[in-house]
């Protein structure tokens, strides 16, 4: 039996097995086995050639992937947002390569990648989908581009990404596995797990663990447990933009909102735009900025004053230490202390150390030893 058939058989068995306490461990084992086989298939496909892939160098402060079916207007949007000049066509699959562009916003350089239309079955290695998906996996944010008349495509797109180990808008599971040399498997959960210990063990055994300590810090189902064990999932935030909004009458918007809700998207969070008429783009840029969690830090340079033109772009949660590292040079070695004014400071010119957490629009001066 070929690997593909094996995978299909396991899938069928999972689908046919009713889920209850007595079958839970069995289903856990099947799901772990399925994940293993899919991994094997993927490895085989990538080693048997499978084309060049789309090596796109990541540059700038963050990278955003525009994901959508053919002809929804990704290239038009890329051209409207950035300095890029991506081909736009009224027929499908105009773009067969990944086109990068750079969006300048709030002093940050945000790389936007227009990737070719995702097609159904891409995660199973059909078409060029696999290469497309590997580009998406490296992005810091996924922007789903939907046409106002094809909201249902959202479901297929997100399923495609899920099948390709991309987890959207989720934190990584609080699951860790530590191998040991003897004593078999032991499960330590800090919550009252719904899953049986035996299910957890079956999943681990099927993944090849014989002796290991498993620590679980949240209520996980089998799929999320597997995500935690597999350790090769990408956790990426996402947002939805609805394009071609110029084609609908205002009273049709309620219908589109309803369709978004049906697919689990909050219409308040979706950004309606017209890439062609360049409408709604400011809201989209702002949403991208916020989802990326970027912050601006204005450097106060000795003798030159505060540089408000080209901020240092960091991420929410970054500290003075991260700022030093991004600045490079000898800041790191010669650091004595820093002075911060603005949102993160208790008062102007507050003296802080390396571990001080910065906030958007702080002014930072680093004092170094000579």
Ligand X SMILES: Nc1nc2c(ncn2[C@@H]2O[C@H](COP(=O)(O)OP(=O)(O)OP(=O)(O)O)[C@@H](O)[C@H]2O)c(=O)[nH]1
Contact 178, 2 (CB under 8 A): no
Contact 96, 173 (CB under 8 A): no
Shortest distance (Å) from residue 130 CB to ligand X: 17
Q: Which is nearer to ligand X, 259 or 274 (CB)?
A: 274
Shortest distance (Å) from residue 208 CB to Mg ion: 42
Shortest distance (Å) from residue 94 CB to Mg ion: 5
- List, in order, residues 6 or more apart from 186 with CB less than 8 Å away: 212, 213, 214
Shortest distance (Å) from residue 96 CB to ligand X: 8
Q: Is 75 in the site for Mg ion (CB under 5 A)?
A: yes
**How is residue 197 annotated by DSSP?**
H
For residue 148, the cross-strand partners are none
CA atoms within 13 A of residue 136's CA, in its CB half-sphere:
34
The mark string for 190-229 relative to ligand X (x by CB under 6 A, - otherwise) is ----------------------------------------
Shortest distance (Å) from residue 278 CB to ligand X: 9
Contact 307, 361 (CB under 8 A): no
Which listed range, 43-51, 89-97, 309-317, 357-365, lies at the site for ligand X (CB under 6 A)? Answer: 89-97
Q: What does the alpha-carbon distance between residue 14 and residue 4 come to, in Å, rounded to a whole number?
A: 15
CA atoms within 13 A of residue 206's CA, in its CB half-sphere:
24
Contact 200, 216 (CB under 8 A): yes
Q: Is 88 in the site for ligand X (CB under 6 A)?
A: yes
- Of 157, 275, 297, 352, which one interacts with ligand X (CB under 6 A)? 275
Q: Is 116 in the site for ligand X (CB under 6 A)?
A: yes
Q: Which is nearer to Mg ion, 133 or 226 (CB)?
A: 133
Q: What does the alpha-carbon distance between residue 18 and residue 30 come to, in Å, rounded to a whole number?
A: 13
Q: Which is nearer to ligand X, 48 or 90 (CB)?
A: 90
Q: Is 215 in the site for Mg ion (CB under 5 A)?
A: no
Q: What does the alpha-carbon distance between residue 130 and residue 107 come to, in Å, rounded to a whole number?
A: 34
Which listed range, 16-24, 40-48, 68-76, 123-131, lies at the site for Mg ion (CB under 5 A)? Answer: 68-76
Q: Is 311 in the site for ligand X (CB under 6 A)?
A: no
Q: What does the alpha-carbon distance between residue 345 and residue 215 come to, in Å, rounded to a whole number?
A: 37
Q: Which is nearer to ligand X, 72 or 314 (CB)?
A: 72
Among 146, 140, 119, 138, residue whose Cα is nearest residue 130: 119
- Of 63, 76, 153, 241, which one interacts with ligand X (CB under 6 A)? 76
Shortest distance (Å) from residue 222 CB to ligand X: 35
For tokens 């150390």, the residue is 353
Q: Which residues bind Mg ion (CB under 5 A)?
A: 75, 94-95
Q: Which residues bind ligand X (CB under 6 A)?
A: 68, 70-76, 88-90, 92-95, 116-117, 243-244, 246-247, 274-276
């Amino acid at each position: 039996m070929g690997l593909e058939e094996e995978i299909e058989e396991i899938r069928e068995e999972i689908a046919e097995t009713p889920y209850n306490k007595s079958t839970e461990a069995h289903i856990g084992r099947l799901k772990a086995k399925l994940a293993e086989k899919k991994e094997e298939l993927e490895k085989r496909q990538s080693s048997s050639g499978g084309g060049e892939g789309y090596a796109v160098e990541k540059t700038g402060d963050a990278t955003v992937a525009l994901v959508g079916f053919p002809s929804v207007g990704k290239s038009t949007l890329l051209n409207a947002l950035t300095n890029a000049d991506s081909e736009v066509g009224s027929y499908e699959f105009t773009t067969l390569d990944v086109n990068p562009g750079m969006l300048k916003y709030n002093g940050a350089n945000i790389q936007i990648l227009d990737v070719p239309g995702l097609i159904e079955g891409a995660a199973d290695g059909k078409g060029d989908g696999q290469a497309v998906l590997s580009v998406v996996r490296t992005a810091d944010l996924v922007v789903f581009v939907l046409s106002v008349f094809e909201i249902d495509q959202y479901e297929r797109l997100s399923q495609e990404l899920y099948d390709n180990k991309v987890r959207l808008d989720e934190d990584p599971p609080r699951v860790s596995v530590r191998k040991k040399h003897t004593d078999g498997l032991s499960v330590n959960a800090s919550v009252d797990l719904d899953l049986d210990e035996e299910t957890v063990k079956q999943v681990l055994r099927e993944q090849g663990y014989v002796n290991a300590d498993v620590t679980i810090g949240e209520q996980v189902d089998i799929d999320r447990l597997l995500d935690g064990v597999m350790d090769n999932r990408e956790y990426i935030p996402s947002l939805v933009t609805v394009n071609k909004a110029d084609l609908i009458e205002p009273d049709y918007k309620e219908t589109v909102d309803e369709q978004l809700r049906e697919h689990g998207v909050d219409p308040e969070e979706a950004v309606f735009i017209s890439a062609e008429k360049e409408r709604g783009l400011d809201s989209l840029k702002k949403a991208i900025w916020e989802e990326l969690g970027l912050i601006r830090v204005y450097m106060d340079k000795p003798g030159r004053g505060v540089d408000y033109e080209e901020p240092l772009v960091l991420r929410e949660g970054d500290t003075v230490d991260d700022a030093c590292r991004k600045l490079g040079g000898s800041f790191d070695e010669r650091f004595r202390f820093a002075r911060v004014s603005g949102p993160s400071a208790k008062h102007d010119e507050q003296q802080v150390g390396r571990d001080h957490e910065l906030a958007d629009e702080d002014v930072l001066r680093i004092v170094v030893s000579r």
